[in-house]
Structure 1
C-alpha cells in the first residue's frame, strides 16, 4: 500500500484525547475555559488530549460530552458499543401515526372541513391538555393526527382569502403543537418538516402571533441542532422581533407575550454561546416585557409571563455554567406559580443542572425526582436529566447510586 493512502479510521482509531481536542476546537473553546468548567486544571486537559494520562471515568466523560455538545457518546469515546444519544429521548409509540399525518399529501377529500371555530376549540383543548396532563406526549400524540388532517383540509377548502389566512394561522399552530410532540425524538427530519411547514403557514396567514410562535419554535430547533446553528437561531429570532416590534403598541397580550418569549430566546442562545452580558441583557428585556402583562397572564404556547421569568433566569445561569449563580436563581424562583406541568418539570430539571454544576448531586437527584412527579414524559425525553441520572448511577456513594438507578429505571434507561 502506498504511503499516501487514506488511513482506515477503524484500523487505527482516533484516541479519546484526540477526539476531545477536535470537539473542543470545533466549539471554539480554549483549554483553560474547558478546564474551569470541569473543575480541572488546563494541564489536566492538555494531558488527556495528548494521551499522557488515562481517559477519565464515565461521569467526567458525560460532563465533557455535555459541555462540548457531543450528541452521541460513541463519537467522543470511539467505542462503538456506547451509542448513547445524550440529547434525544426514546421514540414515542404515537410517533408513527403523527408522522403519517404530517407526511400525507392528499389532493381531494370526500368530506367537508370543520369550521375554523371548531378547529380553534379543539386546538385550545389540545394546548390545555399539553400543559395539564403528566403524560402530555401521550395525550397530544393521540389528538394530533386528526387535527393535522382537518387543519390541512380547512386550508384547501377555504373560499376566500380571509378564510384561507385564518385557516393558515390555525394550521401553523397545529404544526407548533406537533413540534412540541416531535422534539427530542429520534426523527430529526420530521422535526424540521414540521418546523418549516409551520413557518410557511404562519407567513401565509399574515398573523403576527402565528408568525411569532413559529419563529420561536424554529429558533429552538436551530439552537438544539448544535453550536454550528446558533447563528441561524439568532437570525430567526431577531428577524421575528424586527417584524413584531412596530406592531406591539396596538397588539393584544398574546402578541406582546410572544415578543417577550422571543427576547428570552435571544438571551438563551447568547448564553449557549457563552456571552454573559448579552444573555442577561436579553433576559432583562424579556423581564420588562413580562411586567407589562397582567400578573396572572400565561401564554398558551410558550408559558411566557411574569411567573416564568425566575425559571428563565435559572436557565441563563445554567447555560453560562455559573454554578453558584444558578443555585441562587433556583432558590429565588417560585416554581409553584408555573401553571404548565411540563414547564414546571422542565424548571426542576434546570434546577438539577444548577445543583449538579454546584457540586450538590443529591439535591440534583431530588429535583429530578420532583420533575418526574410533575410530568414523567418531560424528564424521560430530556437529555440533560438523562445525563445527570446516568452519571450518578456510577457514583461512589451507594445510597446516591441506588437513588439514581431507581430513577433510571423509571426513565426507561435501565431494566427493572
Structure 2
C-alpha cells in the first residue's frame, strides 16, 4: 500500500542496512558524511544499505550508532539481545522528582517566595556543588525540585517590573541548571521543555548574561539532536553573539567568557560537519577571548576559561576525525588545571576518543579510568565512553578486554 511516510525500523524485522538507511535519512545525514564519521567510503555505506554487504562487526556497528546518535543499539541492529543504551543514560533515581517539579503548575498563593538574595545564593551554591562533586547529578538532583518551585513562585509574586525581571533571571538559571541534570536522561521531551522555558524566562529578564547562558545551552540541545539540527544550533549561537557584540568592549569577565563559549560552540558544530577551516577559526577566536580573562578565572556555567581551551582543542580535532592531531592536542592539554570535576572527566573522555581514533586502545582505556576517578556520573551518562568500553570489551587482547569489561561493569554498561 503506497504511503508518504518512512517505514519504522523498529516494527518490522528488516535488514540491518535498511535500518541504517532509515536512521541516517531521519538524521538528515548524507552517505558521504556517515562514511567519514565511521572511517569508510560512501560506496561501502551504499552497499551496506543496499544489502550487498552484511551487518559489520560490533566495533563498526558501535561507530555507526555513535554517528547516528542511536539511543539504543537494538534500534540499529534489530537484535533485542543487543539492547544497550548508548546516548541515553540509565535514568537517574532523582529524575522523577525533578520531572514532578518541572511539570507542576504553580499557583501564586501556593507558598511564600524566598527572598531574592537567598534564592540567588542557593543557585550560586548549586553551581559550585555541580563543579566540585564527583556524583554531580545526585547533588543537583536533590537541590533542583525546591529551586525550581521557589524560582517559579518568585516570578508569580514579584511586586514590581524590576523584581519580576530579576526573578525571571533566577528562574531561567534554575532551568539552565536542570539541563545539566537532564542531559542524556531517557526523557528528551522533558529536556526540550526546560530548554524552551529557560529561553523564555531569559528573554523576559532582559539580562544579557542570562540570555547568553540560555542560548548557549539551547544551541547544544539542537546540535545533540543530530545533523539535521546543526543549522538551528548555529542560528542560536550566532544571533546571540551579534546581540552581545555591542556590549563586549565594556563587558565584565562573565559576559566576555560567555561570548567566548558561544564562539567555541560554533566551531564545535563546524567540526561535527567536517568543516576544518571554520572549526579552527572559531576556536582561535575563542582562544583570543579566553586570553583576555584572568588566568584563574572560570565561568560558573559554561566552564569557559584559559584552562579549558586545550580540552576544547582536543574535541575539535576528534570531531574532525584527525587521529594524530587529536593525540597531539591531548598531550598539550593539561587536565589537572580544569577545576570542574565533571568538565575534567569530560575532557578525559575526549582524550580517550583521541587515543582510540589513533589506534591507541590502552591509552584510551587509561583515560577513561581517569574520567571515572574525576566524576563517575559523567562517564556513566556519556555515550562516547560507553561506545569505547563496549568496543574494547570485544578486543582480542585479553588485558584490554578485562580492563574495559571491569570499567563497563562499574558504570553499568555491562552487568557485573
- Secondary structure in 2 aligned to 1:150? helix
Using the TM superposition, give the Cα deviation of residue 76 of structure 1 relative to its aligned residue in structure 2, in angstroms. 2.3
2:293 equivalent to 1:289: no
CA distance in 2, matches of 1:110, 1:43: 62
Contact 1:27-1:68 at 8 Å conserved across structures: no
Using the TM superposition, give the Cα deviation of residue 47 of structure 1 relative to its aligned residue in structure 2, in angstroms. 4.3
CA distance in 2, matches of 1:386, 1:49: 25
Contact 2:31-2:45 at 8 Å conserved across structures: no
Contact 2:68-2:226 at 8 Å conserved across structures: no
User: Which residue does 2:255 correspond to in 1?
Assistant: 255
CA distance in 1, matches of 2:402, 2:222: 37
2:162 equivalent to 1:162: yes
Is there any run of 5+ residues in structure 1 with no aligned partner, and where?
none
- Secondary structure in 2 aligned to 1:306? coil
Contact 2:9-2:19 at 8 Å conserved across structures: no
Any idea what the Cα deviations from partners look like across 1:217-259, whole Å, max 9, x if unmatched? 0111111111111111111111111110111112211111111
Any idea what the Cα deviations from partners look like across 1:34-63, whole Å, max 9, x if unmatched? 556545566654543443343211111101
- Secondary structure in 1 aligned to 2:307? helix
Contact 2:17-2:54 at 8 Å conserved across structures: no
Task: With the length of structure 2 as denominator, give the TM-score of the two structures.
Answer: 0.94
User: Which residue does 1:108 correspond to in 2?
Assistant: 108
Task: With the length of structure 1 as denominator, give the TM-score of the two structures.
Answer: 0.94
Contact 1:116-1:167 at 8 Å conserved across structures: yes
- Secondary structure in 2 aligned to 1:394? coil
Using the TM superposition, give the Cα deviation of residue 279 of structure 1 relative to its aligned residue in structure 2, in angstroms. 0.8
Using the TM superposition, give the Cα deviation of residue 151 of structure 1 relative to its aligned residue in structure 2, in angstroms. 1.0
User: Which residue does 2:354 correspond to in 1?
Assistant: 354
CA distance in 2, matches of 1:399, 1:290: 41
CA distance in 2, matches of 1:275, 1:77: 30
Any idea what the Cα deviations from partners look like across 1:344-369, whole Å, max 9, x if unmatched? 00000000111111111111111000
User: Which residue does 1:48 correspond to in 2?
Assistant: 48
Q: CA RMSD in A?
A: 2.1
CA distance in 2, matches of 1:12, 1:374: 43
Using the TM superposition, give the Cα deviation of residue 77 of structure 1 relative to its aligned residue in structure 2, in angstroms. 1.9
User: Which residue does 2:75 correspond to in 1?
Assistant: 75
Is there any run of 5+ residues in structure 2 with no aligned partner, and where?
none
Over 3 Å counting, the alpha-carbon distance change for 1:290 and 1:161 in structure 2 is same
User: Which residue does 2:198 correspond to in 1?
Assistant: 198
CA distance in 2, matches of 1:8, 1:363: 39
Using the TM superposition, give the Cα deviation of residue 322 of structure 1 relative to its aligned residue in structure 2, in angstroms. 1.1
User: Which residue does 1:212 correspond to in 2?
Assistant: 212
- Secondary structure in 2 aligned to 1:295? coil
User: Which residue does 1:179 correspond to in 2?
Assistant: 179
Over 3 Å counting, the alpha-carbon distance change for 1:189 and 1:53 in structure 2 is closer
Q: Could you tell which deviates more after superposition, 299-308 or 246-255? A: 246-255
User: Which residue does 1:386 correspond to in 2?
Assistant: 386
Aligned length: 412
User: Which residue does 1:62 correspond to in 2?
Assistant: 62
Using the TM superposition, give the Cα deviation of residue 83 of structure 1 relative to its aligned residue in structure 2, in angstroms. 3.3
Q: Could you tell which deviates more after superposition, 94-103 or 7-16? A: 7-16
Using the TM superposition, give the Cα deviation of residue 212 of structure 1 relative to its aligned residue in structure 2, in angstroms. 0.3
1:1-400 mapped onto 2 (5 Å cutoff) = 13-24=13-24, 27-31=28-32, 35=35, 37-40=37-40, 44-109=44-109, 111-400=111-400
